[in-house]
Each structure stands twice: as C-alpha cells, then as structure tokens.
Amino acid sequence: MHIFVFFVSLYRPENPPNFKEMMEDYINLCTDLARKIMRGIALALGGSPYEFEGDRAGDAFWVTRIIGYPVKTSENGQEKPVNDIGCGAHTDYGLLTLLNQDDDILALQVRNLSGEWIWAPPLPGTFVCNIGDMLKIYSNGLYESTLHRVINNSTKYRVSVAYFYETNFDTAVEPLDICKQRSGSGGGAKKFERAVYGEHLVSKILTNFVY
Ligand SMILES: O=C(O)CCC(=O)C(=O)O
Ligand SMILES: [Fe+2]
C-alpha cells in the first residue's frame, strides 16, 4: 500500500506560484483554529481553557500533508479494477486533526464503537476533526482516538489536506487529574501510561508508511 505525500516545506510547484505563501496562511489559520478548539475541549473536560498550552502544547508541533489518492486502475490484471492505493487503518498521533477533503468523493471511513466501518462523507465548508492519541491519553480515554482509513473507489483523483495539531515535541503526556476523576476508572486510576509525543510520532511513522 502506498500513499503519496507532498511535504509542504519541500514542495515548490510552478503553479500556483504563491503556493508557499498560501500554505503558510492556511497553516496559521489552522493553528489558530485548532488552539481554540482545544480550549473548548479543555473546558468540556472540566479544566481551565489553557490546559493544553504552556508546557503541554504552548509550542504546538504541527504537520500538514497534502495527499493525493489516484483513481483505481486495472494494472493489477484483475477483471474488475480495485484500488489498493489508499491509507490503511490508523489513529492520528497528536491532539487534533483538521481534515479538509474533496467535496464530492466518498473515501474516508471511520470505525464506530460497534466495530463497523462507516463513511465520513465530505460536508462542503467543514473539516473532519479527528482526535489523536495524545488527547486520548490526556483525557484518560474520555476522548477516543478514532481508527480511520481511506479507500478511493471513485473514478476521480482525490486530494485531502490534513493539518495535525500536536503537543510540544518533547512533552511527556499522561492522564490529567481532572480526567482521571471523571473517567470512572475507580479512585481516579490512570488507564494509559505516560508517552513522550516525539517518540510516539517517530515510532508511528516508521510503522505506518511504506516507502
Ligand atoms: O486523506 C484522508 O482523508 C485522511 C488522511 C489521514 O487520515 C492522515 O493523513 O492521517
Ligand atoms: Fe489519519
């Protein structure tokens, strides 16, 4: 399985000529939006709005990927072409993902609590927000990092832009006290062990991508 990834910092197309500036603006807006959503989540968890700032995510690490998913082909010699190019089942690694997908292609699936894969249809003008592994740990499981995958069985090339808002790179993440009390784990016990975000990121990249 392959995934085509353009890293914004390395990609310099001739067209549009202002690609770099456009992406920088987009990323700044996403960073601002993600910080605000995290303030709302912190309040919803019963904490201060700034729970995910300072040493935790005050210098949030971010990643943006522009991903192209080719159409299905019959190159593999099968009578009915199937698409084996996509994005395998995974959870995102950090706090929050803002996913901007093509408006007219059904391709993203998420696994619900009953273990069924359901479509996450694009809604024009909206982002899909994925919870990442670090928010699952911080919230002691009150927020689940949802398993998702991409299968492009349409006849159109699909593009998505995924913006990942993470903790500070070196932050050691562990369940927040407020969440241990609220997550019903008897006497405020933590359900997840401490993880250093940067180490988690590197280990996931090494196992999730095929080069
Ligand atoms: O392209 C998509 O819809 C999802 C991409 C994704 O899940 C990821 O890059 O982590
Ligand atoms: Fe993802």
Using CA atoms of 123, 70, 150, 1 in order, give the dihedral in degrees to the nearest 10: -170
Q: Can you tell me which residue has the tokens 């991903």?
A: 67
Prior bond of 81 cis (ω within 30°): no
The domain limits of the chain are 4-209
ipTM rounded to 2 decimals: 0.99
Q: Which ligand gives the minimal distance to the CA of 107? A: 1
Return the pLDDT at 82: 63
- Measured from the Cα of 164, ligand 1's closest atom is 10
Digit-by-digit pLDDT tens for the chain (211 residues) are 234 445 555 667 778 889 989 999 999 999 999 999 999 999 999 999 999 999 999 999 999 999 999 987 665 555 555 666 678 899 999 999 999 999 999 999 999 999 999 999 999 999 999 999 999 999 999 999 999 999 998 889 999 999 999 999 999 999 999 999 988 755 689 999 999 999 999 998 887 765 5
Pocket residues for ligand 1 (CB within 6 Å)? 65, 67, 87, 92, 99, 101, 108, 148, 150, 160, 162
Ligand 1 centroid – CA 2 distance (Å): 13
Ligand 1 centroid – CA 162 distance (Å): 6
Give CATH for domain 4-209: 2.60.120.330
For 29, residues 6+ apart whose C-beta sits below 8 A from its C-beta are none
This prediction's pTM? 0.89
- Measured from the Cα of 158, ligand 1's closest atom is 1
Q: Which ligand gives the minimal distance to the CA of 86? A: 1
CA–CA distance, 1 with 57 (Å, rounded to integer):
33
Return the pLDDT at 72: 76
62-69/158-165 β-pairing: antiparallel
Residues in the chain: 211
Q: Taking the alpha carbons of 60, 211, 11, 71 in that order, is the dihedral positive or negative?
A: negative
Ligand 2 centroid – CA 39 distance (Å): 22
- Measured from the Cα of 92, ligand 1's closest atom is 10
